[in-house]
Amino acid sequence: MGGSSHADSTVSKNEEQIGAPKGDAFLFFRNFFRHPRMLGSIIPSSRFLIKQLLEPIDWDKAKVIVEYGPGVGGITAEILRRMRPDARLIAIEMNPDFVGFLKKTLVDPRFDVVEASAADVNEIMKKLGVPKADYIISGIPLGSMPAAVRQPILQNTREALAPGGSFLVFQFTTRVAPDLARVFRYVKRKFEPLNILPAHLFFCQPEPA
């Protein structure tokens, strides 16, 4: 499970380079026409959205980070650029084209990408032998999923978080807000206009800090 070896050159080295690995745009665009509901957007997240989404992370303390729906890896590459040398990043992605692309382009011993649904987060972490997550980051279209798919993802996410852990979410609508408020005791909202489409961000914790 997962692809892992050294290749620091694939990871952006400075703030200006936030974004997905090269070759990403066409792959993302093509997949949007195949699976529009699963992707939710026609192009990958902007560097403004990535920056704001990751802003709450305490990089000195984060040892286990999970990402749902990495797509072509813009957020993933930035997490790898910033995270500790001994931290782990587990990405869970349903689209096999994106999983193959990430395995080829983001080669890093701290990184595993798994072809699965976010609903399987606890089984995946157990199989990989990682403890509970300090942060779970999600770009999957929770708001447009049927409730029967969304609810288990949210419940399992809560279970996968370590005490004091946080769930960082972006969405293109606010439809998911009532469900987040039901599952998490603390939910703070933000907004990022500089993205196609403008994005709503949610910072969620099972218990307020």
Ligand X SMILES: C[S@@+](CC[C@H](N)C(=O)[O-])C[C@H]1O[C@@H](n2cnc3c(N)ncnc32)[C@H](O)[C@@H]1O
- Annotate 85-135 with DSSP letters as a single string: TT-EEEEEES-HHHHHHHHHH---TTEEEEES-GGGHHHHHHHHT---EEE
Go through the chain and tell me how many residues it has.
Answer: 209
The crossing angle, in degrees rounded to 10, of helices 121-128 and 147-160 is 40
- Number of residue whose CB is nearest ligand X: 69
Spell out the residues 6+ positions from residue 127 whose beta carbon is closer than 8 angstroms to its own. 1
Which residue, 118 or 136, has its beta carbon nearer to ligand X? 118
Q: Least separation, in Å, of the C-beta of 18 and ligand X? A: 11
CA 4 to CA 25: how far, in whole Å? Answer: 23
CA 209 to CA 199: how far, in whole Å? Answer: 25
Q: Least separation, in Å, of the C-beta of 121 and ligand X? A: 9
Q: Least separation, in Å, of the C-beta of 207 and ligand X? A: 25
β-bridge pairing 133-138 and 111-115: unpaired
Which residue, 21 or 70, has its beta carbon nearer to ligand X? 70
Which residue, 117 or 166, has its beta carbon nearer to ligand X? 117
Q: What is the token pair recorded at 90?
A: 């587990």
Q: Least separation, in Å, of the C-beta of 208 and ligand X? A: 27
Which residue, 6 or 37, has its beta carbon nearer to ligand X? 37
Q: Least separation, in Å, of the C-beta of 14 and ligand X? A: 20
Which residue, 4 or 144, has its beta carbon nearer to ligand X? 144
Q: Least separation, in Å, of the C-beta of 75 and ligand X? A: 5
Which residue, 65 or 140, has its beta carbon nearer to ligand X? 140
Find out whether 112 and 128 touch, Cβ atoms under 8 Å: yes
The 10 Å Cβ neighbour count of residue 184 is 22
Which residues bind to ligand X, rule: CB under 6 A? 38-41, 44-45, 68-71, 74-75, 92-95, 98, 117-118, 139-140
